[in-house]
Amino acid sequence: GEDVEQSLFLSVREGDSSVINCTYTDSSSTYLYWYKQEPGAGLQLLTYIFSNMDMKQDQRLTVLLNKKDKHLSLRIADTQTGDSAIYFCAEIMNTGFQKLVFGTGTRLLVSP
């Protein structure tokens, strides 16, 4: 199937690390993405990882990829209240046109 799964909700305190998890379906996906959506806004591309990589770090963001388990995670270090948003992982489905399939989204709430 095309279900990309995420936990629905994560609550952390400001300054802590946040880890958002994602399980995807297509083992042949070439790229996996993380998007952030603030209330009433569009999706902002945060980072992405190529499938031949295990890890990618970009400032406060660390992406880990476990291809064997088809598991992707996003770690946000020193989480700030401005990080409160919905986070979507997404994979490229290699079926004809490379369609982007989104996860169910994780709502991150950061409290002061």
Question: Rule CB under 8 A: is residue 42 a binding residue for other proteins?
Answer: yes
Q: Which of 22, 20, 45 is nearest to 34 (CA)?
A: 45
Is 95 a residue that touches other proteins (CB under 8 A)? Answer: no
Residue among 103, 98, 108 at smallest CA distance from 24: 103
1 scored as a contact of other proteins (CB under 8 A): no
CA pair distance 66, 75, nearest whole angstrom = 14
Binding residues for other proteins restricted to 49-78, rule: CB under 8 A: none
Binding residues for other proteins, rule: CB under 8 A, are 4, 30-31, 33, 35, 37, 40-45, 48, 86, 88, 92, 97-100, 102-105, 107
